Amino acid sequence: MALYGRFRADCSQFGRLMCAIVFRALADRVGTGIRIEAGVGFSHPETFDIGDGVFLGEQTFIQGRHDGRCKIGNYVWIGPQSYFDARDLIIEDYVGWGPGAKVLGSSHTGMPIEEPLIATELEIRPVRIKKAADIGVNAIILPGVVVGEGSIIGAGAVVAEDVAPYAIVAGVPARFLRWRDGYKPSR
């Protein structure tokens, strides 16, 4: 981690190459062609399984957990300043992740009520982003959500419920707008 830290802010081609080499050594698995931009940070990379051709934009942070798992599929593009609570996260192939978008995979139980919220137990819930989904700029995916294959999440949306395949959702909270052009849902 100290060696990664030496090159983390280096925007040069050499700095990015060194970050990729160190990241590959720390992670459980990293495919070919990973591109890590300046300022990318992470914790518990030993729980990461990263596919081929993944792009991690500047200042992205992936927060793993010692007993968790984070799987990012092939050809995933992650925009700058994104945040991942990657305690139980699977992002499938060809997902586009807009700049500043976030995924939360945990929340506090809030019980007992007499305790400060932050002192209560942490509940980890899996988040699944299916193949070819597109997550808009500054969208937030909440714990336990499944984003369906080929779906589109609008910019700034807060997704608290599962999203059907090929659906377009937007808003706070995110609501169904329509199906993607060319998609015919089965009745």
114 φ, ψ (degrees, to nearest 5): -75, -20
Residue 157 near residue 174, CB atoms below 8 Å: yes
- Which residues are annotated as catalytic? 108
Number of other residues whose CB lies within 10 A of the CB of residue 142:
18
* Residue 47, SS3 per DSSP: helix
* Residue 147, SS3 per DSSP: strand
- Cα torsion through 134, 85, 155, 95, rounded to 10: -10
The tokens for 18 are 């060194």
Residue 153 near residue 169, CB atoms below 8 Å: yes
> Using omega within 30 degrees of 0 as the cis cutoff, is the peptide bond preceding 80 cis?
no
* Residue 36, SS3 per DSSP: strand
